[in-house]
Chains A and B, each alone.
Chain A
């Protein structure tokens, strides 16, 4: 598939003043989706997100048309998102794909938590994350594309089933399943739109304007708003800044205040622990593709060794709870 040629033909429909595209390049991205950056000849910076032909969708991942619809709905609710410019149709010859504006900023957590350039926005970022999540969680759920619904017990059961299937013997994960099962909060009265992967890496941070775009809506679903608040507090995305629980840049109190104050810290800590447990199981899952020979890369082998990172975080959380 020649993506650049297909984009060239699409260009006039993306902007009336464009005759083609330039600087088309594939950005390193997720395993399941491709991300391409390109510019229109009139200078408009854009991103193409597309599913490679023949790649099976992850069971929980959304079709890209749904993802584009959610971005539009979140944007209408006042959350910062990259504007969706075009959802591709078969005649565009790009497969399942959509085009959005390319935002300026940084997604690499290591830079966001440490670089001098972001020092100015870091202090207000946790509160801003809370505010933005409140807007996402307030998106009217009628009229959204079809989404799965989950709650704490459902997520625990889903990940425990995956863990059992892997036949791994990791006592810290075993203990965490039993502990979290015993303290799992009831489902929220009204399930809300949950982003599902709100963390460093999926947040576009501008050195002056702060959080300018929430990216990667692939794992969005309906559920407990606290899931998003807990996930950004998982130590694995604090990039060494472990004393700043919110993404390595802020404190719980700011995140909760930004969200509006209706959620308890205890509930966030539960979802944070479930987040670490999920991350541990995900590391084992990714390693499984190495173990079964499906992907023998050194990367897939080594990701298994990150399970212990989730485990040490879980031990700290269990000790604090004991």
Chain B
């Protein structure tokens, strides 16, 4: 579901980082090691939830566009429809999908991000 980068690309980047020679006391390396930890955690979340979230998103898209297809195809069609004005960007049915998509993505990429709490808080407040 997430393409920038894909899980496979992320795994490659982690492997490349792990293969680099280590110089003790290298501050840049220490920073990158923390980034690599975050990347591993994101990959683990993607492995756990990615397939289910993509299946749910595909179902939502099929209903929204009244078409069948895989996630990539339907998502691309949605983007075209938005670009040429066929879909109102603030329409309720469409906003429901965007909200779910935003929550799905952040659940994998960065579940501690405050924007998730803020968005969910809008429901209670």
A175 touches B98 (CB 8 A): yes
Checking A305, A313, A320 against B4 with a beta-carbon cut-off of 8 angstroms, the contacting residue is A305
A271-322 residues with Cβ-Cβ distance < 8 A to B are 283-284, 287, 290-291, 296-299, 301-302, 304-309, 311-316, 318-322
On chain A, the residues within 8 Å of B101 by CB distance are 171-172, 311
How far in angstroms is the closest Cβ of chain B from A303? 9
A309 touches B115 (CB 8 A): yes
B14 touches A319 (CB 8 A): no
B4 touches A284 (CB 8 A): yes
How far in angstroms is the closest Cβ of chain A from B32? 6
A297-B13, A301-B9, A312-B105 given as contacts; is B89 within 8 A of A179 (CB)?
yes
How far in angstroms is the closest Cβ of chain A from B60? 11
Report Cα–Cα, A155/B109, bound state, in Å: 27
B66-101 residues with Cβ-Cβ distance < 8 A to A are 72, 75-76, 78-79, 82-83, 85, 89-90, 92, 94-95, 97-99, 101
Query: B124 at the A/B interface (Cβ < 8 Å)?
Result: no
A291-B5, A308-B105 given as contacts; is B113 within 8 A of A302 (CB)?
no
**Surface stretch bound by B, among A40-48, A101-109, A194-202, A235-243:** A235-243
Number of residues on chain B facing chain A (CB within 8 A): 51
- Nearest-neighbor residue (CB-CB) of A297 within chain B: B32
On chain B, the residues within 8 Å of A318 by CB distance are 89-90, 95, 98
A238 touches B4 (CB 8 A): no
On chain A, the residues within 8 Å of B22 by CB distance are none
Report Cα–Cα, A209/B97, bound state, in Å: 47
Interface string of A171-183 (1 = CB under 8 A from B): 1101110110000
B106 touches A298 (CB 8 A): no
On chain A, the residues within 8 Å of B38 by CB distance are 302
On chain A, the residues within 8 Å of B115 by CB distance are 235, 242, 309, 312-313, 316
A309-B113, A312-B119 given as contacts; is B103 within 8 A of A169 (CB)?
no
Checking B5, B75, B78, B105 against A287 with a beta-carbon cut-off of 8 angstroms, the contacting residue is B5
Interface string of B99-125 (1 = CB under 8 A from A): 101110110111001111111001000
A174 touches B9 (CB 8 A): no
On chain B, the residues within 8 Å of A174 by CB distance are 78-79, 82-83, 89
On chain A, the residues within 8 Å of B28 by CB distance are 28
Query: B62 at the A/B interface (Cβ < 8 Å)?
Result: no
How far in angstroms is the closest Cβ of chain A from B41? 11
What are 26 residue pairs bridging A and B, where the CB atoms are less than 8 Å apart in the complex?
A28-B28, A28-B31, A169-B72, A169-B76, A170-B4, A171-B79, A174-B89, A176-B89, A179-B89, A235-B115, A296-B16, A298-B16, A299-B32, A301-B10, A301-B39, A302-B10, A302-B38, A302-B42, A304-B5, A309-B106, A309-B110, A312-B119, A316-B118, A316-B122, A319-B99, A322-B90
Q: Beyond the given A238-B114, A312-B106, A315-B98, could you list 18 further A-B residue pairs with CB under 8 A, ordered by the A residue number?
A: A169-B3, A175-B90, A175-B98, A178-B85, A235-B114, A242-B114, A242-B117, A301-B39, A304-B5, A305-B5, A305-B10, A305-B42, A308-B105, A309-B113, A311-B105, A311-B106, A312-B105, A322-B90
Give the 6 A-B CB pairs with smallest separation, nearest first: A308-B105, A175-B89, A304-B4, A301-B13, A174-B82, A242-B114
